[in-house]
Structure 1
Amino acid sequence: MAGECVPEGPNLKEMSEEELWELINDNRHRISLGVRPCILIPYLRQVKVLTEVDEDEILSCHNLTNRCMRTSYMLDLLRTQGRNGAIALLEGLMIHYPTLYTQVTGRKPSTEPSRFSGLIKYSELTEYLIRAVTGMQTELQEARNEAGKMSARCSSLESEVGQLMEQEEKSRNLQAENGRLQRHLSSLQREVTKLKDEKCDLYIRYTVAIEEKSALNGRLHDLNLQVYQLQTELQNIQMEKEFHKQRSLRNLSSSHTPQLQEAHKDILEQDLAEAIDSQVELAEHLKSYREENEKLLREKQGLLDQTETLSLQVQQLSLDCKMHQQKSTVVQSQMKELQVERDQAYQSRDDAQAMIARILAEKDTLRSQLVELQEAVFALQAKRSPRIKLQSSDVKERSWDSETSSSEECLLPVRRRLRRMDALNPMSLSSCLSESENALPTSVRSKGVEPPSPESLRRRQEILYEDSSLEAAETDSLLDEFVFLPDGGEDEQKPRSPSTRSSVCLSRSSAPPFLVRSRPKAIRVNGRVLSISLQCEALLSQITVVGGNKSGVFVHQVTEGSAAHTVGISPGAQIVEVRHEQNNKALKMVLEDSTLEEATWALSQVSGFCQLSLRPRQNDYEALLQQLQNSKMSSGDSFYIRVNLSLSAGASWTLAVSCNDILHVTNTRPAGTEDLWHASQVHPCKLLDLQSGTVPNYYRAQRLLIQTIEDMSFQTKKCQKVGRLNTQSEQKVVRIVSTGRQGRNPLWVSVEEENNKSTESGPPSASKSCVTLMPFTLVTPHFPPVCRPILLLPTILGRMLDKKLASWQGFQLCEPEVLTSSEHAARLQRSEILEEVEPGGNQCFTLQSVDKVMKKGLHCVLPLGLDCVRRLHRYEIFPIIIFIGVSARSARKLRSKLQRKGQTEEQLLSCLKSEEPLLDKLPCLYHSMAPDSWCDLNSLLTSLRTIIWEEQRKIVWVEPDLW
């Protein structure tokens, strides 16, 4: 601001108060756009035209949703100070915005004392400027120190990366050597198996030979008996022959007749011939029997030799069998010891869970007492209806950002909503302890504030009746399916959101901001969980993991000889939870549904004594490996995200995405890349993957988001002016979404400090003060019925189009219901009132009126505001939200119709400007129409019909509640 000031406009000292403010009001639009109140307020406070209360109201009022509104409100406050306020404003512009000062006054800025009005002394002004410069120098020095620290940190990280690469190379060599040894061991095992098979074959042949030998001995014994019988018969025949011969000789001596002698001779010759024939035949039989006997003797000798050989092999097999029996005995003894330890662990677990069940029963009693007190408070509040109606009318005038609760919470006193998440029902605990492993576990979830609905009471009675009728079985089967986590307080979120507990707010070097979340009080697990404790220097250097949030994180390889290998960690076990100590704090990280990137980061933090909770899932692990080998999937990760910034295809990543695109992430650690995810674009109407590629991971995308916001914030005035002219036609670049540590997101791994037990009544924990910008948000697909409700925005234009849209075939306008005071209170308690027609009136738009129209197969046209969207989402109703862009030119075409409604063009544009920033806070996607896409009301209605038909076919993607 150095240099001589040459007058080019009117002299400010000679101008009156009205002239000064007329000059300011003529340039009010330019000042509102170009001035930041936080920069001018210190000077205005110095000259005492603004107070501390004014400063707090300007910077903290919820009704002032943007910078322009805050600047305009500051000008209104200065107007009340008269001439001093105008002079102070112009002097502040001359100090901080010299270019704007010249544009407003037509004079060049100057720092000479004579140029100032005298509201502040020259020495005080110099002191103020010195303080400002000193503060800026301090900030600059701090920024430089921070840059130096980051450079040192970067150098240390680069050295760590080099060491990690060396370790990875060594690990790769060890893995190759391990693979070779395993292949050699497999070949040796195959040879041993082959030898055992050959021994079994020889033993079988030996048994068959013994049986054949026994059969041959029996046959030889029979043949010897037959030979002995034949020899006996031959001797008898010979003796009989001699006897007959002697007798015939005696008869011949006594007989003298020649006829007798001749007849006797013939008989003897015939007998002799027959005896000779029989002896020859017997001799031949005896010869054949002797030959067969010699053959059997030779075979017997061969079998004896073979028997000796087989006996030696049998002795060797007997020794091997004794050795295996000894090993089996040792293994069985160890198994018995493990069973005893397991039974002791189960008994300890049962005692702990019984104690937890008793605590839950006591808490249920206290909750019932609290509900009774709340009902009494509600009865008292119902009697104060005039005051409540007045409060509800004030609440409806607030903007989306200033809302901290729904309309029903505005009518009632602030109180906590009761939640009981995934806890065992204490009334049926005794029956649950005896249920079998396949029995239904009893779990009661209270999704709303008491009193419950009749349908809820009926379901609870049916569950209790089924539990009481089940037969008793194993005691520990049901308790194995629940893992109880420490309770940190009551929950104010939906049933899916975690209960309030103190989380550890870690820095980027210790725990990334998106890797922190809370967990439910109790989560259901399948199968038994084994806890293993070990002492190791770096756990991730001893094991490698595969999988992801869809399949689970499994141990893939274990370094042989390491501490993990010594305690019995083997491939195929799912890592459920990790407990370790860090900075003298006991931390617990739940990895049951974490991504592969999260699990790798979490395990890399573990050093020293740790405890792993593992679940054996060998079949699932082998199925995952088979799918990875067949290239059916690249990892075990699978989740859908909504992109909150536009990314062009760069050198590192290949997929170009726009803001509000939906991506299917299938691998958070693709091979050969760093800080990248593998993702695919999703078909808008079908759950199909389209173009695939890589995108920056959460951290890298977060840095790009911050850089984009900084670039947008520090644009020049000329670029801002051009941007204002084209902002309605250009595509959105970023979507600002921030969340606290209580938010649920699958990109966050649970890092909890086990001994930290903060309560709601105590001071706010560190986690509540941590807010982070989110480049990606988790979304889940929903497939609503055929006809979805229609919500048109901005509200003023939507009210003009609702009746015309309802006159079409297939559309019907949502009609309000007239409720009594008791019905109004009951439905307000159940969050079924969407909006009141008039503040304090009995006519209300209710959930039942919307559901009634949808059951007819018609599109329900909602004459409501944005507040109804979250209430409809609670009941799985997803409206089609269409935001119609309006320019000043198109607003002039609606002037006559606006006048009939008693409204003006400025009100329409102001409504559009106030509601457009609120669209990004919705948990779902919306359709935005450009101002130049329609020229009159008829073309607008025609475009709406086409848009509704297209949006009806699309999948509805919904974000979780992040706060």
Structure 2
Amino acid sequence: MAEESVPEGPNLKELSEEELWELINDNRHRISLGVRPCILFPYLRQVKVLTEVDEDEILSRHNLTNRCMRTSYMLDLLRTQGRNGAIALLEGLMIHYPVLYTQVTGRKPSTEPSRFSGLIKYSELTEYLIRAVTGMQTELQEARNEAGKMSARCSSLESEVSQLMEHEEKCSHLQTENERLQRHLGSLQREVTKLKDEKCDLYIRYTASIEEKSAINGRLHDLNLQVYQLQTDLQSIQMENEFHKQRSLRSVSSSQTPQLQEEAHKDILQQDLAEAIDSQVELAEHLRSYREENEKLLRDKQGLLNQTEALSLQVQQLSLDCKMQQQKSIVVQSQMKELQAERDQAYQSRDDAQAMIARVLAEKDTLRSQLVELQEAVFTLQAKRSPRPRLRKSGVKEISWESPTSSSEECPLPVRQRLRRMDALNPMSLSSCTSESEDAVPSSIRSKGVEPPSPASLRRRQEVFFEESSLETEDTDSVLDDFVLLSDGSEDEQKPRPSSSRGSNSVCVSKSSAPPFLVRSRPKAIRVNGRVLSLSLQCEALLSQLSVVGGNKSGVFVHQVTEGSAAHAVGISPGAQIVEVRYEQNSRALRMVLEDSTLEEATWALGQVTGFCQLSLRPRQNDYEALLQQLQNSTMSSGDSFYIRVNLSLPAGASGTLAVSCNDILHVTNTRPAGTEDLWQVSQVHPCQLLDLHSGTVPNYYRAQRLLIQTIEDMSFQTKNCQKAGRENTWSGQKAVRIVSTGRQGRNPLWVSVDEENTNGTESGSPVPPKCCVTLMPYTLVTPHFPPVCRPILLLPTILGRMLEKKLASWQGFQLCEPETLTSSEHAARLQRSEVLEEVEPGGNQCYTLQSVEKVMKKGLHCVLPLGLDCVRRLHRSEIYPVIIFIGVSARNARKLKSKLQRGGQTEEQLLACSKSEEPLLDKLPCLYHSMAPDSWCDQNSLLTSLRTVIWEEQRKVVWVEPDLW
């Protein structure tokens, strides 16, 4: 049953080299973790895919600090051997790691000689095994001798160990005290943070109280003014009442005066009391209404603030939509301008061709009429000098302009005369044939019209010209060197005209023998191929005769041409885009494509051209003028525009050099700034949008490559010093360098391609493929991607990720990826289509598939991936870009997770080893990842809180992906 549960994978002999290495790269993480290079070295040397020099390089290279990195570097060396390297690796896994061989290939291991691929014969394999056993016995004896020496040495080291134990106890006591002090310091820091928060809250409340107090004071001031006004009015009324009362008292008799005064005094007091009560009630009512109005204004203010926030969000959304629409309209307008330019150029070319054809036709008709008159005179003289019976006896049929011929006789075949050099035109002689009427001359000979011929007529003339050109002599070839064939014709067909009669004789001109239109051109021929012109010229240094502007975004244009140079003589003018250049160097024909090259590449490529060369140009005058306008307005510094990922840290320097860190994304806007030759003008990119931030310069590719090599040498020297001093390198979240090689391409992928053309003219003369070359890359090209849905989550190291996955999946907006149960046939089919991400158990039917991840993403949730690094490239092929988070682990963090590790049957040492082995593999990924420092979390709760923040930040960022260098 166990044998039947292992699915039968594809036959390795039937797979191509790319398919074999794709299968190995998909399981690169698993192979790097599970394979020891020293075990596979004997077999790989036996099949001659690795040498002893390669083995020494893998084992003794200073930058390969652990086994996983050495295994990964061994895979890179085997990749250079092509198919043999892949087959040898899989056979080595089948011999020494049968379980891993089954996981990688999906096939059961077999030790039968017939199942091997043929890299090593059975007799050689037996001999190899005998030598291996002998070598192992020798190594065993040496190991035993070494063990005796070590046992003697152990006795001498026991005393030192006891001293170290005492020192360790003292250190542990100090460490415990230090941890206690750090915990106390952490509690004090938390209390200080709480006090700061309370202080901020009190400050906010105090500010609100001050604002409220100022508003109330303003209201009270207004009320006091109103009270003062009322008091003033009251006093004036009281004075008026007193004046009236005094006048009334004077008129009253003296007997009634005391009583009236008392009554008047009472009435005045009552009236004053009532007015005072009414004024107080009115003031209280005003105060209450003002308070209600204040509360209403506060509520309206809060509502307006909320509405303002909503409107600001809408404004941001509308601004983004407006920018997108503006970009679309700009693209459409540029396309419309290009179409209009092409249309105007086509109309102009058609008008020029029609005018030229009309002029040539007029001159041709004039020459034809003169030729006909001369032929008439010649034939008349021949008829007078030679009698007719003699001609008949000689068997030659006479062609005369004077004697009629039978209407049943066919016109003789036209006789084409050789070309003769003339001043402006070189018309070819016309063929004549006899007809019924001598005076009937066709309109094509004596026509005075200027209508151009039809395209079909021009095409037929061109075919006749090329058929008969091979029969011409050297004189004809020398004449044709000074002419160019015009293949453009008019859309209007030439209308036939009735012929005029001249007695009984007529002259007819065969259309098939009509000469093509030849016009004298420049010293070298111009071949028109669509909208691309091919120019050939002989020059000592091409770059000294012209200058260029532009770049990979706009194209490289000719900017200036030296007067009187060879480039100017062949017709090169500003505004033409350089598409391709061909030249010879050291008896080799080379071709360089400059259509998508940068300004630095184009300048270097044109500087290599000496001697005879051929340029392919595309006329784009409107685009060239638009580029010059943008350069003058400083909206662009050049026509270059591409994004790179930096693989080393560079400090800031003089003259505006930017300080960049490893894994930064830069936007290159000019590869050849004014006054510099080894710098690029770049801008830092916003992490969440395609916006340029700070601008400056960085070293160009080759100068940065030298700095990268120097940095690696300095790091290796520092590492050796630390090892000699007994110190270990601590974890650093910011890397100094990132090791990336060009692989099998053998050249810089950012540079222009130089192809060697086949000059032998036979199939066997195909160019030799370039040799394998591995070079360090300081910059790598990247392209932006904007995932439309929630990105999956991948936590590393794997052991710690398994502990946090269930906690993370329990949050709102997250869901754990569930495995699927597949049959053997379904498993084999999905494995062939790279839809199987990882198996739950080796050889089992349950596996994590691409469909299960897409199912969770369609719900708008983050899919938590319980997988390793091998799944990243498979997800990228389906345009799924996960958030990769590497959690830094130290010994202190590992002790905090000791109880949880023991529940899963794992130890702290295994967690630290897993973290140390998986961290170097992150540099092999084609995308960015986020690293969390070990000191950023102290327990599981703080780690989960930090993870939520990190995931939210990574979801907003732009995803930058590198191309596959292999």
TM-score (norm 1): 0.48
TM-score (norm 2): 0.47
